[in-house]
Structure 1
Amino acid sequence: MIQVGYIGLGNIGKPMCSTLIKNGASRDIAVTVYDVMPDPVAEMVELGATKANSVREIVERCDLVGVCVRDDNDVDSILYGDQGMLEHARPGTIIAIHSTVTKTNMLRWASDGAGKDIHIIDAPITGGASGAAEGTLCIMVGASEAVLERALPMLEATSKRVVRGGDVGSGIVLKLANNVITYAAFTAVSEAVALVKKSGLNPEDLYAVGEINGVITPSGKQFITGREGLLAGCTEEQMLEFFGPFAGLGEKDLDHALGLCKDLQLDLPATKTVREHIRQTFLKGQG
């Protein structure tokens, strides 16, 4: 059996892990899970996973580990320290970071891991919670070809396609570039709908046109119809509760992208504008 560990059972991590468990059953993959919250761990155990009581226990048992936590600080917290994975992982262990993090930190983690013959690779995903549940994610990987070959049983069990960008750090570059497109599109469709509504027209007609010519993607339509539906029946406080976290993710991801641009001495003025207005795009001027 291939021993695979999974850390982080949140909005994306839980359905992704669920898919790993289901698809892994026919691929000789045994899954061990860890999260600070007991309920999602119990759900995964019901599906056939084994519970770990710590990240240390994960790497003591598993040679392949997927990590889907909130941010760079969370990754730091599970890698370092007396109980961290870098202290207890066996040589040759592969740790795939699915979170959207900074390239700078990704390279730091990979370098620290390499000193102990531990392979820390970037493997961010796109496709959302629904894609995670359906196994249709795309995983963007930064790793050597040899390390990726060893990690493929875990990655292919949770995705429709794995795209290798190059060495460590390239996966997160692809992810940040993808998110630049996503948030720019969300902003564009939001303002286009505002124009149509102010002109007294039906947004559904805009969706019909945009779907035919490919300008409005399914995710763009899902975003705007979901937001408009909430706006119709929610207070400002409720909108902040429901969509505020997504606005925060947009700000984080765009900050990461612009930080990378600064390192590369690359100016993306339109992306800067999207970053300035992304919270308004999600909350429509609220918050």
Structure 2
Amino acid sequence: MTLTTMGFVGLGNIGKPMASTLLAALKQQSIVLKVYDINHTAVAELVEQGAIGCRDLADLADCQIVGLCVRGDDDVDDLITAGLFDVLAADAIVAVHSTVTRDNVLRWHQQAKDCDIHLLDAPITGGAQGAKNGTLCMMVGADQALFRRVAEGYSISAKQVIHTGDVGSGVVFKLANNMMTYAQFAAISEAVALVTASGLNPETVYQIGEANGVVSAQMKTFISNREMLAAGCSSEDMNTLMGPFVGLAEKDLDHALVLADQLSLSLDTSKIVRRHIRTTFLKNTASQDRG
């Protein structure tokens, strides 16, 4: 089946640049992109770039692939409850780009199957900048035939589209990736604290770490931005600016630890990172850590 129309739901911090990059690539192949979000301003911005704006989910009815880039499990549930599966044609694909639980992916997959459509997990990594630059990595849990169909739509706008295994496997790899990311953030946060408390220049931490491959560009960007904000922000300001990102980190680590418990696996270091991730993001302006 030739791909002619794709849909994209969720035009937030990552979703909007991802949709914009996807739109630019699809236009070159005369493939239509329809976009939907409760934020009408974000929809209007994509319409100006050439997308077709949707007033409601029913306008996605002719989409062969619909990507969901919403905040989390509850938002996906809300879209399904609102009738997303009901409006799509048989054999359509719903690709969940959000970081959610494996249990819910498998539940949604069965619900979609009951409606003669397909749902698979296709989480992404690379952040808003990666979405803008077209350098995202997408991890797709699906059978080979569905993976090929999804890759047809997304490989033109992502750096890599990786087949990770059956449905539910993509999000496992995303949780594993995020566990490593947040552990790195915690490590550089404490390294900078040690050096600064010793009266030394933290920039040298970056220089040495980059030289030996310990400090990545993502780690440096995180800690540099956090230090800049902390220097001029009150505790309330830090919570306002960084709080949403803390919430995502806590959610993702919680998902990973719940999955580990289901697998009778003890992830002791990740448990420590989870206990301290709020302070890692908010520095010493943070409120008391939540367990």
TM-score (normalised: structure 2):
0.96
Q: What one-letter code is carried by the residue in structure 1 that aligns with 2:54?
A: A
1:158 alignment counterpart: 157
- On the 8 A contact 1:5/1:31 being kept in 2, the answer is yes
CA–CA distance in structure 1, aligned partners of residues 193 and 275 of structure 2: 18
2:122 alignment counterpart: 123
Correspondent of 1:12 among 6, 11, 14: 14
Post-superposition offset of 1:158: 2.8
Q: Name whichever of 11-20 and 147-156 sits farther off.
A: 147-156
Post-superposition offset of 1:117: 2.0
Q: What one-letter code is carried by the residue in structure 2 that aligns with 1:269?
A: D
User: For 1:20-48, what per-residue CA distance to the aligned partner results, in whole angstroms no more than 9, with x for missing partners?
Assistant: 11111112211011000110000000000
2:54 alignment counterpart: 52
Mapping 1:72-111, distance limit 5 Å:
72-81=73-82, 84-111=83-110
Mapping 1:19-30, distance limit 5 Å:
19-30=21-32
2:38 alignment counterpart: 36
Q: What one-letter code is carried by the residue in structure 2 that aligns with 1:9?
A: L
CA–CA distance in structure 1, aligned partners of residues 44 and 129 of structure 2: 21
2:208 alignment counterpart: 209
Post-superposition offset of 1:157: 3.0
- On the 8 A contact 2:6/2:32 being kept in 1, the answer is yes
Post-superposition offset of 1:212: 0.8
2:71 alignment counterpart: 70
Question: Counterpart of 2:265 in 1: which secondary structure?
Answer: coil
2:62 alignment counterpart: 61
Correspondent of 1:2 among 1, 4, 14: 4
Q: What one-letter code is carried by the residue in structure 2 that aligns with 1:164?
A: H
Q: Name whichever of 155-164 and 272-281 sits farther off.
A: 155-164
Q: Name whichever of 175-184 and 109-118 sits farther off.
A: 109-118
CA–CA distance in structure 1, aligned partners of residues 209 and 17 of structure 2: 30
User: For 1:1-24, what per-residue CA distance to the aligned partner results, in whole angstroms no more than 9, with x for missing partners?
Assistant: 610000000000000000011111
- On the 8 A contact 1:183/1:278 being kept in 2, the answer is yes
2:187 alignment counterpart: 188
Post-superposition offset of 1:155: 1.5
CA–CA distance in structure 2, aligned partners of residues 158 and 262 of structure 1: 36
- On the 8 A contact 2:57/2:87 being kept in 1, the answer is no
1:272 alignment counterpart: 271
Q: Name whichever of 45-54 and 113-122 sits farther off.
A: 113-122
1:219 alignment counterpart: 218
CA–CA distance in structure 1, aligned partners of residues 79 and 205 of structure 2: 46
Post-superposition offset of 1:129: 0.2
Q: What one-letter code is carried by the residue in structure 2 that aligns with 1:160?
A: K
Aligned residue-pair number: 284
Q: What one-letter code is carried by the residue in structure 2 that aligns with 1:87?
A: D
The percentage of aligned residue pairs carrying the same residue is 51
1:169 alignment counterpart: 168
Post-superposition offset of 1:272: 0.2
Mapping 1:129-144, distance limit 5 Å:
129-144=128-143
Aligned-residue RMSD, C-alpha: 0.9
- On the 8 A contact 1:80/1:87 being kept in 2, the answer is no
Q: What one-letter code is carried by the residue in structure 2 that aligns with 1:50?
A: I
Question: Counterpart of 1:129 in 2: which secondary structure?
Answer: helix
CA–CA distance in structure 1, aligned partners of residues 177 and 134 of structure 2: 19
CA–CA distance in structure 1, aligned partners of residues 176 and 30 of structure 2: 35
Post-superposition offset of 1:263: 0.9
Post-superposition offset of 1:130: 0.3
The answer to whether structure 1 residue 113 and structure 2 residue 112 are counterparts is yes
Q: What one-letter code is carried by the residue in structure 2 that aligns with 1:32?
A: K
Which ranges of structure 1 fall in alignment gaps of 5 or more residues?
none
CA–CA distance in structure 2, aligned partners of residues 239 and 102 of structure 1: 28
- On the 8 A contact 1:19/1:157 being kept in 2, the answer is no
Which ranges of structure 2 fall in alignment gaps of 5 or more residues?
none
Question: Counterpart of 1:159 in 2: which secondary structure?
Answer: coil
Post-superposition offset of 1:154: 2.0
CA–CA distance in structure 2, aligned partners of residues 29 and 279 of structure 1: 42
- On the 8 A contact 1:34/1:41 being kept in 2, the answer is yes
Post-superposition offset of 1:64: 0.7
CA–CA distance in structure 1, aligned partners of residues 29 and 179 of structure 2: 35
